[in-house]
Structure 1
Amino acid sequence: MLLPLAAFFIRDWRMLLIAINVPGVFYLPLWRLIPESPRWLLSQGRVEEAEAILRAAARKNRVTAPEVIFQPLQTENKTEKLSRHNVGDLVKSKNIRWITIMLSFVWIAASIGYFALALNSSNLHGNPFLNCFLSAAVEVPGIILSWPLLRSCSRRLCLFASLFLGGVLLLFTPLIPRDLKLVSIALEMMGKFGFSVALTIVYPFTAELYPTVLRNTAVGTCSMAARLGSIAAPYFLYLGTYSKSLPYILMGGLCVLGGLLSLLLPETYGMPLPETLDHMQTIQRFKKTQNSNTLSGDTTAVENDSVL
């Protein structure tokens, strides 16, 4: 929201890039203040470090931590089964491969809609600085709404509803008469609202689908897929030189399809986080028998969640 204000006073694009990127340098040292994931430490056999972080979290949250957080037998099993995982594990089995493919498509579709509407704000009717401000301001209620949705609603339904809303609004935008420019702007802003909700929800949803040993890799890979969407977004807008309706039809169709695909993903709301690849939930079409381990999870993980 501050970007159009800075651009209004700094008209040279090189100086504007410097002005908006230099503050990011001050964030670099802050990584030392972020604690490591106890789940990841435990999966790597670093039990003492994991316990120290959990006890510190318990003190900050005024919760009494148990005297013994990890049972000796559980830690022995963890250390015995240590194995290296890499990005190739995201396509290792049929179930994980389809989850990765569908999630990547959802990330790409949401990014195309989000960044295309952000870039298109300067092409809308009216003051480009004001339109850019409104395009950013509409994200605030979307991000605020995502908080209660994540705490109380189905991940799949929230992601579907937000992507479907953004896609349908884009499909309706070319149908608005040219003399109703304010209505077109309102539809685009509402679409941006939907994509903001989708991109806020898809991050934790992706993290909850994958086990501890692959969680960071999966989120990073899907985020990389989203960058493909952001790279493609300007080219969708360029298609408007041939037909003004074509970018909206393509982007809207992709987002609607992404929303429908999200319904096929496993639900994670209220479920324990998976610890290993065996604990991952399966897509409904691949699910033959219900695995009790998948549903119940690791009792250690549940106890640790209560501490946090």
Structure 2
Amino acid sequence: MCLTSLVSWLLPSWQYLALVSCVPSALAFAYWWYLPESPRWLLSQGRIHECATILLNVARINGKKDVYRTQLESDLYILWNLQEKEVSLREATRYPKLRLRALILFFMGACSYLCYGMVFLGITVLSSNYFLSHFVVSISELPSNALGWTCTHFLGRRFTCISTFLITAALVAAAPFCRHDKWVMLAMVAFIRLFCTQLIYVVYVQCTEIFPTPIRSTGLAWLIVCGLATMISTPFLLHSGIGEDFPWWLLLALMLLCAFLGTFLPETIGLPLPQSFQDAEDLGSGRPLRVWIHHWNQHRFVPTSSQEEKYQELRKLSLTSPDELKRMSCNEMTKMSR
């Protein structure tokens, strides 16, 4: 984003700008031949040996020396026999809490993308120097992911989500009153860009930690679809003719609504990812809203998963050799786990 301002200033034609902008994407696509396959996907396809090879390489890079192929393949084969089949997102509608949380996440994602789109596409503060304006607003986005990670890691997911929406709402409410000074307005827009980009990061984190394993990737994909679909409406809202300040007041209402809806999401810091739909439904139990759960007290609020006892029993199977595991049927393994 920052380099785009410099490149557009140097190149006199938009055709050259479009051509140069395609070069990084082409180089990134070439990385496809060097990128290893997803271990989770290999496991879902039953390709145990290839999955173990990649995980062993990860262990080697991380300096883990007590990982052995035989033991790892035994554990992977157990997981492969017990994993739930990939199901549709509609399966989540059978669980009331998970259904509500999914709708909230999709709405929050849509509002975050809408805020980003309005700031990115529709606001030119320095009309005399569009390139400088674009550069300042773009460079303000750089620390957003680092700031989002730091806040979610130490302050908790729910607190970071609600507080970031409230901070963005305050900045949006103040923006219409800063039009008299272009540099103040530019700083205000830069901070809005920073926090709305952080919002996208935080919502992504919550999405991956709230949806259960069978629909985690599907839920994240639909979150992105909702966000990009809402972002399409940005030009229509900016040129609605209702008023120059209408986009700001609309964003203010949406940010405040999202902050309120964030109270219905569970605090997931320190919790294992939900593996089943029932785990996702029970997620956050024993973590009331009135208690601020963060990095320094999360150990006091770690409920046991409904599947924990079963997985502890299944750990006993890890002593079995891979060849013997392959001779066992899924029903036999299930009986051993009960």
| Counterpart in the other structure of 2:202 | 201
Count how many residue pairs are aligned between Structure 1 and Structure 2: 295
For residues 190 and 182 of structure 2, what CA distance do their matches in structure 1 show? 12
| Counterpart in the other structure of 2:148 | 146
> Which is greater in Rg?
2
Name whichever of 245-254 and 138-147 sits farther off. Answer: 138-147
Shift of 1:252: 1.8
Q: Quickly say closer, same or farther: Cα 1:291–1:158, change in 2 above 3 A.
A: closer
Q: Is the 8 A contact 1:211 1:273 kept in 2?
A: yes
Q: Quickly say closer, same or farther: Cα 1:5–1:162, change in 2 above 3 A.
A: same
Q: Which runs of 5+ in 2 are unaligned?
A: 288-301, 316-338
Match of 2:124 among 110, 122, 125: 122
Q: What TM-score do you get using the length of structure 1 for normalisation?
A: 0.83
Shift of 1:58: 0.8
Percent identical? 24
Shift of 1:20: 0.9
Q: Quickly say closer, same or farther: Cα 1:146–1:284, change in 2 above 3 A.
A: closer
Match of 2:139 among 134, 137, 147: 137
| Counterpart in the other structure of 2:64 | 63
For residues 141 and 246 of structure 1, what CA distance do their matches in structure 2 show? 29
Q: Is the 8 A contact 1:90 1:218 kept in 2?
A: no
Q: Quickly say closer, same or farther: Cα 1:228–1:182, change in 2 above 3 A.
A: same
| Counterpart in the other structure of 2:91 | 89
The amino acid that maps onto 1:279 is D
Deviations 1:149-203 (Å, cap 9, x if unpaired)?
Answer: 2432311211222222112211222234x42333222222111111121112222
Q: Which runs of 5+ in 1 are unaligned?
A: 302-308
The amino acid that maps onto 1:206 is C
The amino acid that maps onto 2:184 is V
RMSD: 3.0
| Counterpart in the other structure of 2:305 | 293
Q: Is the 8 A contact 1:166 1:195 kept in 2?
A: yes
Q: Is the 8 A contact 2:126 2:133 kept in 1?
A: yes
SS at match of 1:179: coil
| Counterpart in the other structure of 1:106 | 108
| Counterpart in the other structure of 2:54 | 53
| Counterpart in the other structure of 1:223 | 224
Q: What TM-score do you get using the length of structure 2 for normalisation?
A: 0.76
Q: Is the 8 A contact 1:145 1:197 kept in 2?
A: yes
1:1-308 matched pairs, under 5 angstroms: 1-67=2-68, 68-69=71-72, 75-76=77-78, 78-79=80-81, 82-176=84-178, 178-239=179-240, 241-282=241-282, 292-294=304-306
The amino acid that maps onto 1:148 is T
The amino acid that maps onto 1:23 is P
For residues 236 and 272 of structure 1, what CA distance do their matches in structure 2 show? 41
Q: Quickly say closer, same or farther: Cα 1:149–1:81, change in 2 above 3 A.
A: closer
Shift of 1:214: 1.6
The amino acid that maps onto 1:162 is T
